[in-house]
Structure 1
Amino acid sequence: MSFYTSLSGLKGAQTDLSVISNNLANVGSTGFKKSRAQFGDLFASAPTQTTKMISGQGTRLNAVVQQFTQGTLEASDKTLDLAIAGEGFFVSRGDPPRAAVTYTRNGAFQVNANRQVVDTIGSTLQLLPVDAAGNVTSTALSSAFDFVLPANAPGNPTVALVNVSVGIDGLVTATYADGSDEVLGKVAMASFTAQEGLRPVGDSHWQSTGDSGPPAIDAATNGPLGTIRSGALERANVDVTEELVALISAQRNFQANAKAIETASNMTQAIVTIR
């Protein structure tokens, strides 16, 4: 039995090493959130057995849990580089026919050939409708629309767009060559009751699940969503020193379990060779 107990320890240490390695590999990934492997012990006994005479049977992986702590904000020189200081997520929608909705902390947005503001996977950032005073008129996800930069002032194709700004509350304002302004909407943001239940899909994007609960959609500065910082990006929340210490610990665990298997093998060999 000690072989299988130590084998489960080897597999656990290997999983721990994989999770830590993934964290370290993504130190430079914008909006990345580190993960932690959580383990539990295995124990089983029959009703007629006393638990005081039974040892455990090893370990198993309970979950790889994401840690949604705030990453450091790093300044950039692009208006459409957006960072969140808070617990919110940007909402982006993919191309039809799937039009898959994903949530991201990676605010490295850019403009494509159709003048849509898209994220790193090509999904379009969503805006919420606002009135003339800049107040959100609907927080339903179905009412959110694609962020598209206008080429010219409304009603006057000879006046070009010269600037776009994003406020800390997510209000997007377009400025034209004649000095006029136009409010385009507010950046749609989402929060979740259980962030750890989100399903990662890569590139610092997540999808909602039954474990995370449905998204609560609103604009920045409301509830736990936080504020939006234009001209900044959120770095990965990975502490390299902490991960290296955890890496050493996982390596020691692996070596200890390997040594236990070797010891059990030597004991078995000694018993077999008794004459």
Structure 2
Amino acid sequence: MSFYTSLNGLKNAQTDLGVIAHNIANVETTGFKRGKSSFADVVAGGANTDPRMIKGLGATLEGITQNFALGPIEQTGSALDVAITGDGFFAMRSAESGHTLYTRNGAFGIDGAGFIDDGSNNRLQVFPTDTAGNVTSTTPVDAQIAPTNAAGAEFAGITVAADGKVSASYADGSVEAVGKVALASFIAPTGLKQVGSSNWESTGISGAAKYGAPGQGQFGSLLSGALERSNVDIAEELVGLITAQRNFQANAKAIDTASQISQTVINLRT
């Protein structure tokens, strides 16, 4: 029995090491959120078992949870580098599948068709607005910039305000509203499914996305010209790495001890 108890401990320590290694590998990944493995003890006993005689059977992985604490903000100077200074996620719709992804990585660009995207054909979602910048619908749409305005002047630049208003300027000096960035929130963000590239998908655990404008209610404001870095604390991860390594070594030693005891019993002579 002790072999399997310690074997579970080895597997759990290996899982912990994998999670920590993943965090360390993504210390420079924009918008990354660190994970933490949680474990629970395994105890079994029947109805007629003396509770004072019940011994544990090891440990099991309870879950790998994500920490959505705000990461450091890095100034970049690019107008389409946007950080959320609070809660919320950018909503990105895939032009290929139509699925909506959610991210904290605000490193955006403009494609050949004028859509604001993340470079992987996922388009930023905004609330449509009138020419004055007032929201006309609460249904998010793709953010798209016209290459020329009604007067035929060419696109010259873009700005993103703290309240999410996206404005395009043109060569004749005119400015037109593109939309207002739609931020998403979830009742249980730790239930979001990681899909890579600092993107998440909603699940039954996270619940459906609730959309709102930056700077309103629970949603944070936007900071243009900046990006949110990974929230991984390298010093904390290295301490966790040492702890996980010691845990692995201790369980391996327990298996070695159980093996020696078994060998002693086998070699007994009457």
TM-score range, shorter chain: over 0.9
Amino acid at match of 2:117: V
Corresponding residue SS for 2:156:
strand
Which residue in the other structure is 1:215 paired with? 209
Corresponding residue SS for 2:253:
helix
Say if 2:6 is the partner of 1:11.
no
Deviation (angstroms), 1:132: 4.2
Q: In 2, Cα distance between the equivalents of 1:10 and 1:231? A: 46
Which residue in the other structure is 2:25 paired with? 25
Give the number of aligned pairs: 269
Amino acid at match of 2:247: N
Deviation (angstroms), 1:250: 0.2
Q: In 2, Cα distance between the equivalents of 1:138 and 1:193? A: 23
Q: TM-score, normalised by structure 2?
A: 0.97
Deviation (angstroms), 1:219: 1.1
Say if 2:49 is the partner of 1:49.
yes
Which residue in the other structure is 1:82 paired with? 82
Which residue in the other structure is 1:147 paired with? 143
Amino acid at match of 1:21: A
Deviation by residue 1:20-42 (Cα, 9 ceiling, x = unmatched): 00000000100000000010000
Deviation (angstroms), 1:138: 2.5
Which residue in the other structure is 2:245 paired with? 251
Asked whether the equivalents of residues 12 and 60 of structure 1 are also in contact (C-alpha less than 8 Å), the reply is yes
Amino acid at match of 2:50: T
Amino acid at match of 1:134: G
Which residue in the other structure is 1:63 paired with? 63
Corresponding residue SS for 1:270:
helix
Q: In 1, Cα distance between the equivalents of 2:95 and 2:168? A: 24
- Runs of 4+ in structure 1 deviating by more than 3 angstroms, as ranges, are none
Q: TM-score, normalised by structure 1?
A: 0.95
Q: In 1, Cα distance between the equivalents of 2:218 and 2:47? A: 49
Structure 2 residues without counterparts, runs of 5 or longer: none
Deviation (angstroms), 1:77: 2.3
Deviation (angstroms), 1:201: 0.6
What is the RMSD of the two structures over their aligned residues, measured on CA atoms?
1.1
Asked whether the equivalents of residues 120 and 203 of structure 1 are also in contact (C-alpha less than 8 Å), the reply is no
Deviation (angstroms), 1:137: 2.8
Asked whether the equivalents of residues 136 and 219 of structure 1 are also in contact (C-alpha less than 8 Å), the reply is no
Deviation by residue 1:67-126 (Cα, 9 ceiling, x = unmatched): 000000100021101111111100110114x20101000111111222211114320001
Which residue in the other structure is 2:123 paired with? 124
Q: In 2, Cα distance between the equivalents of 1:210 and 1:66? A: 16
Q: In 1, Cα distance between the equivalents of 2:174 and 2:95? A: 32
Asked whether the equivalents of residues 129 and 136 of structure 2 are also in contact (C-alpha less than 8 Å), the reply is yes
Amino acid at match of 1:149: I
Say if 2:198 is the partner of 1:204.
yes
Corresponding residue SS for 1:47:
coil
Deviation (angstroms), 1:47: 1.3
Deviation (angstroms), 1:50: 1.1
Corresponding residue SS for 1:108:
coil
Amino acid at match of 2:122: S
Corresponding residue SS for 2:43:
coil
Listed as ranges, the matches of 1:167-182 within 5 Å are 167-182=161-176
Corresponding residue SS for 2:157:
strand
Q: In 2, Cα distance between the equivalents of 1:136 and 1:150? A: 19
Q: In 2, Cα distance between the equivalents of 1:135 and 1:171? A: 9
Say if 2:157 is the partner of 1:156.
no
Which residue in the other structure is 1:166 paired with? 160
Q: In 2, Cα distance between the equivalents of 1:163 and 1:23? A: 37
